[in-house]
Amino acid sequence: MIDVIDYGFGNLGSVIKALEYIGYSCRVIDNPKEVHKASGVILPGVGAFGAAAEALRRTGLDGAVKDYIDSGAPFLGICLGMQLLFEKSEESGDTTKGLSILPGVVRRFPSESGLKIPQIGWNCFESAPDPVFRKGDYVYFVHSYYCAPECADDIAATTRYGVEYACAVSRNNVLAMQFHPEKSGEVGLSILNRWARRTR
């Protein structure tokens, strides 16, 4: 059973439909005591970093997520769910800390690039060190901030939007992606499936 965490900031419906489409059982949970029972956990998310981080703390889900990751079981972060794994975000300054699972910060796209912010639409992988991804594949993005990992070894895939940045990260049992696999057609479903196989 794959659990999708509901902390008030997730695009739960589309993630669940995508998982069910590729043949996986899943459920939505909002109780931190239930997190440890899953064979895999997904932290989705859309919205503001600071408010989302506070919601995780208020509900006790922050500690449950950290304990689950420490257990070594498969964990996936999507969009804001990836950003929350880092230490802090320029979106909320130094006032709100992330989960600090991975060292690094979340930065805003540079306005001097002349590109529209947020980035909305399809973009391809410039590099794909992690075999979950395929260099050149296109996936769907909606975001104004990007993750800047402190450790290069944590970068699982990159794309370019004004700057080349980490659009996916991985470390041990943790995989996270800035793009939305559930909205990225067959490519996205294949990526989701390659992760979900780890839960069996």
pLDDT digits (tens, 9 = 90+) for 7-54: 998 789 999 999 999 999 999 999 999 999 899 999 999 999 999 999
Token reading at 30 = 């909002």
112, 167, 180, 186: the catalytic one is 180
Fold of 2-199: Rossmann fold (3.40.50)
- The pLDDT of residue 112 is 72
- The pLDDT of residue 109 is 94
**Residues forming a β-bridge with 120:** 142
pTM comes to 0.96
- The pLDDT of residue 106 is 97
Which residues does the chain have with pLDDT short of 50?
none
Would you kindly state where each structural domain of the chain is located, as residue ranges? Answer: 2-199
- Asked about 180 being catalytic, the answer comes back as yes
- The pLDDT of residue 41 is 98
CA distances from 4 to 15, 87, 108, 125, 175 (A): 8, 22, 27, 26, 14
34, 164, 182, 186: the catalytic one is 182
- The pLDDT of residue 111 is 81
DSSP codes joined into one string, 74-91: -EEEETHHHHTTSSEETT
26, 79, 147, 167: the catalytic one is 79
- The pLDDT of residue 1 is 93
